[in-house]
Amino acid sequence: EAYPEYNKTHLLSLQLPDRSGDIIITTYGEIDRNNYLDPRTAQIATVDHVKQTCTKLRPAADEELPSAYIEEFRSAIDYEVSKYVGEAYPKGVSAVYCTNGKDLEEPGADFGLAVVISAARRSPRNFCNGSWRSIWTLEFSYAFQLVEIKGKIQVSCFT
């Protein structure tokens, strides 16, 4: 019971079995206890929480993915965030998830996205370990034509 919670709390990133990238273990991508969405590749990864590995992949079903309209926003933000993470965090991983309104087919209603960034650097021989975890929620309001952004950051350093 504790392993999935620990992995989600620490935004653990795991390499996908086909080595096409990494997936972040987070509640935003959780399909069920052992299956998590990788929104960038539109795949579902099965996770062994105890061994902290991905054991298999399957394509995501249409109902597990946002609509084409929302995917345009999600993928554009994902592209820019991944560029930023690649420059700012040498061992960083990011993902952008749709949090609400994923079935919208056209403008006219509100929707939300979550940007998740996870980076860790471990150097036990140098007695230095650290991690960065941040979650940014973006709420798009159609009626007011604005985006509200909220963030949560966790930084851990151990020497």
Whether the per-residue pLDDT at 125 is higher than 80: the answer is no
128 band by pLDDT with thresholds 50, 70 and 90: low
Whether the per-residue pLDDT at 108 is higher than 80: the answer is yes
The predicted pLDDT at position 71 comes to 96
User: How much is the pTM?
Assistant: 0.90
For 79-97, the pLDDT digits (tens) are 999 999 999 988 899 999 9
Sign of CA dihedral 68, 70, 74, 79: positive
Nearest Cα residue to 95 out of 33, 147, 158, 26: 26
130 band by pLDDT with thresholds 50, 70 and 90: confident
- Rounded mean pLDDT of 44-55? 95
What CATH number matches the domain at 63-158, 3.90.1150.210, 3.40.50.300, 3.40.190.10, 1.25.40.420?
Answer: 3.90.1150.210
**Neighbouring-strand partners of residue 131:** 120, 156
Say which CATH class 2-61 falls into: alpha beta
So where are the chain's domains?
A: 2-61, 63-158
For 1-49, the pLDDT digits (tens) are 899 999 999 999 999 988 888 999 999 999 999 999 999 999 999 999 9
What would the two tokens of residue 82 be? 């991944």
For 132-158, the pLDDT digits (tens) are 899 999 999 998 899 999 998 887 766
Cα–Cα dist 65/28, whole Å? 12
Q: Which residues contact 138 (CB under 8 A, 6 or more apart)?
A: 77, 112, 113, 114, 115, 147, 148, 149
